[in-house]
Chain A
């Protein structure tokens, strides 16, 4: 069975922020909020947990650093240690300074790209993905809050109307 949601539309981010706080205080469950631009502090008002993407990026950076170190050590020191312009190729540390630019760049490369890919995967973004916005106006100038209906539908609609919503729709969520 599909559940019902109320979609309340707002035309101002300050009103939206206020409404989010009221809805949370009244113990209604906010399914989702759609905004045309980042609203500063909305995640905090909604009580969303912190993102851990920075931690992931740090780990990816370490992976990049480890990969670069292994690669340079294997290629330049172990596999074919040639004398190239008098550079000391007898141990990794002797020749380490010349590897640093590559170690740095690969650290940044892995941290950046893998973090972006993680972001796409976690937020389910890819080409040809079907857009999920319930109302096209939310990409332009409207803010939309989806609240799941539990208990009295009329009461909830009236409550949302009081929070400053300019329009209220009740739809089936599939």
Chain B
């Protein structure tokens, strides 16, 4: 049995406390009125003045009003509209920071659950000694998804403006906010249906997680393979449900933030991003538990296999990232390409930096067979991959909510610390609840003797 070390427990609680303080500070320091924003803009005006480049020529009309260089030409009303626009973005910032973290960690545990189901369905022989580690991490799923759901309900109640389509005035032809493009999508993008879908996904995932965990523990003392077979069938069923729900989830929770834009391979792209993060998390937790002497049956071949998955899924992510980018860049259709124009002009460093973190770094580090067996190299690669995929989610969500007013400061880092602390606390508490070896699995022997 694993014992949650008091050091780690204190560490996770400290992370949560620091995180809560920082998140609170983020909400506290967000501007309340247009006047605050004007003052802020005035202060930062000088530093921005000279730096405006030709990139701005490509911007949309709305962005032009924002351009500080043009402020002199703009009428008084435009300045007001600009300040109000900036106000909404700055007010969104602590919310978005929280949303990226909540979503990121919830999807990591979901990814682990999918990887777990895949091990059952593919009857993998190597990973049985890691199943309990995966079960521990997926214990975060109920917590994470409920937090996420609360967040979505708050958004639906207009506590924030992350999802522009939730503003019902956009459907009213007489309102200045009228959005013709949204009207045609309102059959799908409306609050009741949105929340109902979220409920369905969350219940579906958590149901599988709950039952598979129960069956896994029951299998420890089972005398025949009935439970194993049932688990196999349910896992296959879950994967079918997951694929459908994951596609819709990524449209709902991420793509609808930029509700004028759509991409067909987006769901796969999101999936690749959190799947590689999930495998990386499994590897990190495994290396940690192994270093504490809890996983005597895990050898460096298991680490090697996990590192191979980290490597392969990193390349898979890059493939989808680039495919989505290339097709849109190449055809350059205005209604699609604005998505990347915003990201390229205003998020250049994170947008290109994550390709380095998620592709170049892992491919050079983990291509070597020997390196994949060295725990500290896997941990180093894993941390870069996780940070890189956080940036990936950041770049997916932030441009649509805070636009050019982004930064990675106290609200963002605190939100990550808060969720990380919670994640560690929940996952490692769950690890203490059952033996770390899933004894009932028929492939256990093979897994214990696995070597590559």
Contacts and interface: CB of A to CB of B under 8 A. Distances in A.
Interface stretch (B109-117, B203-211, B258-266, B323-331): B323-331
A100 B323 CA distance: 10
A151 to B, nearest CB: 37
Contacts, number: 12
A97 B325 contact: yes
Contacts of B330: 97-98
- Closest 10 CB pairs between A and B? A97-B326, A97-B329, A98-B330, A100-B322, A97-B325, A100-B326, A97-B330, A58-B367, A86-B332, A54-B369
Nearest to A61: B367
Contacts of A98: 326, 330
Contacts of B326: 97-98, 100
Nearest to B329: A97
Interface residues of A, number: 6
Interface in B281-330: 322, 325-326, 329-330
6 contacts: A58-B367, A97-B325, A97-B326, A98-B326, A100-B322, A100-B326
Nearest to B367: A58
Given A58-B367, A86-B332, A97-B329, 9 more contacts: A54-B369, A97-B322, A97-B325, A97-B326, A97-B330, A98-B326, A98-B330, A100-B322, A100-B326
Nearest to B364: A58
Interface string B328-354: 011010000000000000000000000
A100 B327 CA distance: 12
Contacts of A58: 367
Nearest to B369: A54
Interface in B219-268: none
Interface in B346-376: 367, 369
A74 B192 CA distance: 57
A46 to B, nearest CB: 19
Interface string A21-57: 0000000000000000000000000000000001000
A100 B369 CA distance: 26
A58 B367 CA distance: 9
Contacts of A86: 332
Contacts of B369: 54
A98 B325 CA distance: 11
A97 B329 CA distance: 8
A83 B329 CA distance: 16
Contacts of A97: 322, 325-326, 329-330
B122 to A, nearest CB: 22
A90 to B, nearest CB: 13
A170 B367 CA distance: 46
A97 B322 CA distance: 8
Interface in B403-439: none
A100 B318 CA distance: 12
Contacts of B329: 97
Interface string A96-122: 011010000000000000000000000
Nearest to B319: A104
A97 B369 CA distance: 30
A57 B269 CA distance: 29
Nearest to B326: A97
Contacts of B325: 97
A132 to B, nearest CB: 30
A53 to B, nearest CB: 12
A100 B367 CA distance: 20
A86 B333 CA distance: 12
Most chain B Cβ neighbours within 10 Å, of A58, A97, A98:
A97
Interface string B117-133: 00000000000000000
Nearest to B330: A98
Nearest to A55: B368
A102 to B, nearest CB: 12
A97 to B, nearest CB: 5
Interface string A54-67: 10001000000000
A54 to B, nearest CB: 7
A109 B326 CA distance: 22
Interface string A120-131: 000000000000
